[in-house]
Amino acid sequence: MALGTGEGRLRGSKVIDLDKAAMGRRIKQIRVQAGMRQWELARLLGTTQSAVHKYEHGVVPEPRRLVELARIGRTSIEWILTGRHWEDGSQNQERLTPEVLHTAQILRLIQAREMPRVDEALRIVRAAIDALRASTDGGERRAGAPARGDYSDETLRVLESAKRIHDAVVRSVLGEATARLAHPPEPAEPEAAERTELP
């Protein structure tokens, strides 16, 4: 039975057939974006120019070379092999940074009672960002979006204040969530009535 033919797979399996030509194009993309020639990449990978040429034409590199390619391309091995990141299914080359993943983990811990503060802060920030984008887009503003010159100094000060408020709210909420991550609550002590004393 040949690998990658689909024969002998378990039902419901999520095994992805490897498009080796597309993988080769992604390896070449990493090299070109890094501003390297094949021989330069070969030197970094500890291999030959001929091997890099083969990688760029669909030969799967050894694991240690895949790791180095991912580092050079600021991406994941999964993206090199499949064109997607396992974390989020993104097809963008650059993977999410550890800081973004950590922030997402903290945001998942935000409790329901804290969500209105976060939602309001995000609403304020989105409005401020939209206003600032509209003012820096040159002549290509969205329909109905005011230009920076359309704002008074007072309005700009309000937007700056909104951004500071947003930052403070986010710091507060993230600080609370980070504290919960660092010090998870200990199990509650049983009530005195529930305790039984041994004779």
Burial of 121 (0-12, 13-18, 19+ CB in 10 A): buried
Report the alpha-carbon distance of residue 38 to residue 48 in Å, rounded.
Answer: 9
Query: In this model, does residue 131 exceed pLDDT 90?
Result: no
The answer to which of 93-97, 99-103, 107-111 has the lowest mean pLDDT is 93-97
HEC string of 46-91 equals: CCCHHHHHHHCCCCCCCHHHHHHHHHHCCCCHHHHHHCCCCCCCCC
Position 4 pLDDT exceeds 50: no
CA distance 2 to 184: 49
Burial of 126 (0-12, 13-18, 19+ CB in 10 A): exposed
Residue 11 has pLDDT above 50, yes or no: no
* Residue 174, number of CB atoms within 10 A of its CB: 17
| pLDDT for residue 47 is more than 60 | yes
By percentage, how much of the chain surpasses pLDDT 90? Answer: 28
CB 150 within 8 A of CB 162: no
Residue type, 126: R
Tell whether the model's pLDDT for residue 76 goes beyond 80. Answer: yes
Residue 80 has pLDDT above 50, yes or no: yes
Q: Which residue has the tokens 């039902």?
A: 11
> Residue 120: pLDDT above 50?
yes
* pLDDT top residue among 31 and 114: 31
Classify 132 as helix, strand or coil.
helix
What number is the average pLDDT over the span 149-167? 68
Q: Is 83 left (phi over 0), alpha (psi -120 to 50) or beta?
A: left
**Average pLDDT for residues 137-161, to the nearest whole number?**
59
| Residue listed under structure tokens 């979006």 | 145
| 3-class SS letters over 134-197 | HHHCCCCCCCCCCCHHHCCHHHHHHHHHHHHHHHHHHHHHHHHHHHHHHCCCCCCCCCCCCCCC
* Euclidean distance between CA atoms 165 and 159, whole angstroms: 10
Which pLDDT value is given to residue 104?
72
The yes-or-no verdict on residue 184 having pLDDT over 70 is no
